[in-house]
Each structure stands twice: as structure tokens, then as C-alpha cells.
Amino acid sequence: MVPLIHIRWGVRTGRISDHDVSVREERFWPYMLQIATVGFTYALLRAFGAPRLVIGLVESVSTAMVAITGVTLYWKMSMHVAGAAGTVTVLTLVYGKRALPLVALVPAVAWSRNILDHHTPAQALAGAALGSAAPLIVFRQMGLLND
């Protein structure tokens, strides 16, 4: 909710052009606020002893968000597709083959972002690659993968 409130306030005050934050150069601070919010959530989860799997999920999200924030300074990448791909990857890692039908959601989200003229196919593909890679890397580093 915090980034959403920030964006609404930015649009209302004229600092942000629209609610979609269509201008790439305007995305940095909302993304930074989003990273800070996830960092605060991470700290709370650690303080209250959340399960390692939940910690891994939050670390995966923050890893992807930091990467997208860095990339967005130079090139627009789809955070929506990254989120969909990351979610499907985590669910597949946790639930195995039962979650594989969800993979169909990733191209559907990519298609919608392209049809709405918010992203090119390359930007959607890059989001999917990053979104999938982040949980794979984090879960492997945390020893959460069943090899």
C-alpha cells in the first residue's frame, strides 16, 4: 500500500505523470520506496521468527526489485511479468509439478503488457527471466531447493 499511496500523491501533486508511472525516469523513487517497504517487512519477519521459506520468498522479491530498479534507470523492464514469473517459480519450487500449469499465466501477463503498449516483447521476456531467476538463485543460496 505504501508505494500505491506514494504514486497517488505523486500524481496529485504533479511529480508523477500518471498512475501507471509510464515515464521510466519517474519510476526510481516509487521503486525505492517499494524496496524499503519490503526491507521493513523482511525485518519484521526475521524479528518474529518467520519460517525460512517465507524469508526466502521475501529475499527473492527484494532481489528482483533491486535488479529491476537498477535496470529501469537505463531500460524499461516489466515488473508485472517479473512478478508473475517469480510467483510461478516459487510455487513450482514449493509444490513441484502440481504448480506447472500456472506457467501459462506468465505469457498471458506478458501478452497483456504488450497489447496495452506498456512493454515490448523484449521487456516482458527480460522481466520473465529476472522474475524466474531471482527465486532460483535465492532458494539455492539458502539451501531451500530439494536437489
Predicted model pTM: 0.89
Q: Which helix (H) or strand (E) holds 87?
A: helix 79-95
> Domain tally for the chain?
1
Q: Is residue 146 part of a domain?
A: no
Of 100, 101, 44, 89, give the one whose Cα is nearest residue 63.
89
What domain range is 48 assigned to?
A: 2-141
Q: Which residues contact 94 (CB under 8 A, 6 or more apart)?
A: 53
Any domain includes 56:
yes
Residue 13 burial by CB count (10 A; 0-12/13-18/19+): exposed, middle or buried? Answer: exposed
Tell me whether residue 147 is in a domain: no
pLDDT tens per residue across all 147 residues of the chain: 887 888 899 999 999 998 888 888 888 888 899 999 999 999 999 999 999 999 999 999 999 999 999 998 889 899 999 999 999 999 999 999 999 999 999 999 999 999 999 999 999 999 999 999 999 999 999 999 875
Contact between residue 138 and residue 56 where contact means Cβ atoms under 8 Å apart: yes
Domain contains 92: yes
